[in-house]
């Protein structure tokens, strides 16, 4: 029972929590695809201001991968924009480990197609709120 509660909390807080940002390369320096020069701290979320609501594809992949960064998650292209999660987060060779300095700065967001408008089946839209972040 206690284990279930703790697990549920971790899933709810995935990637928004600073502890999760520190588990991915450049997790506190992910560019905001909607606003040039800004940082998107809630890396796992569609709405950067509503951290516990709708998760983006990178958050789901991170959870599926046991909440850990490794070559499997690094080589995936969770948001489908043609760049791997590692390429977007500055770990193009998938060698980063927790606490290490990434090879490069983050160049894109791993859970939100960027540049905006470059993906065929784009459903997320900038400026969305809460649980209404995906157009079907």
Ligand X SMILES: *[C@@H]1O[C@H](CO)[C@@H](O)[C@H](O)[C@H]1NC(C)=O
Interaction site with ligand X (CB under 6 A): 65-66, 68, 70-72
- Nearest distance in Å: CB 87, Ca ion: 7
The DSSP bridge partners found for residue 39 are 31
- Nearest distance in Å: CB 78, Ca ion: 6
| Nearer Cβ to ligand X (63/116) | 63
Torsion angle, alpha carbons of 113, 54, 134, 110, to 10: 0
| Nearer Cβ to Ca ion (10/65) | 65
Nearest CA among 43, 74, 69 for reference residue 56: 43
Distance CA(39)–CA(37), nearest Å, equals 7
Q: Return the SS3 of 100.
A: coil
Distance CA(128)–CA(105), nearest Å, equals 27
> Beta-strand (E) ranges in the chain?
none
Q: Look at residue 107 and give the partner it binds from ligand X, Ca ion, none, a contact being a CB closer than 5 to 8 Å depending on partner kind.
A: none
- Nearest distance in Å: CB 24, ligand X: 13
Give the contact letters, 74-93, x = binds to Ca ion (CB under 5 A), - = no. ---x-x-x-x----------
Q: Look at residue 72 and give the partner it binds from Ca ion, ligand X, none, a contact being a CB closer than 5 to 8 Å depending on partner kind.
A: ligand X
| Binding footprint of Ca ion on the chain (CB under 5 A) | 77, 79, 81, 83
């Amino acid at each position: 029972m206690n284990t279930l509660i703790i697990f549920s909390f971790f899933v709810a807080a995935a990637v928004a929590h600073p502890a999760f940002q520190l588990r991915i390369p450049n997790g506190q320096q992910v560019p905001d695809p909607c606003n040039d020069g800004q940082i998107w701290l809630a890396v796992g979320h569609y709405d950067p201001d509503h951290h516990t609501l709708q998760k983006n594809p990178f958050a789901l992949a991170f959870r599926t991968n046991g909440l850990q960064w490794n070559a499997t998650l690094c080589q995936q292209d969770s948001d489908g924009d043609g760049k791997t999660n590692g390429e977007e987060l500055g770990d193009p060779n998938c060698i980063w480990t927790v606490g290490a300095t990434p090879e490069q700065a983050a160049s894109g967001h791993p859970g939100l197609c960027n540049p905006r408008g470059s993906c065929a089946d784009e459903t997320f839209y900038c400026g969305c709120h809460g649980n209404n972040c995906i157009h079907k």
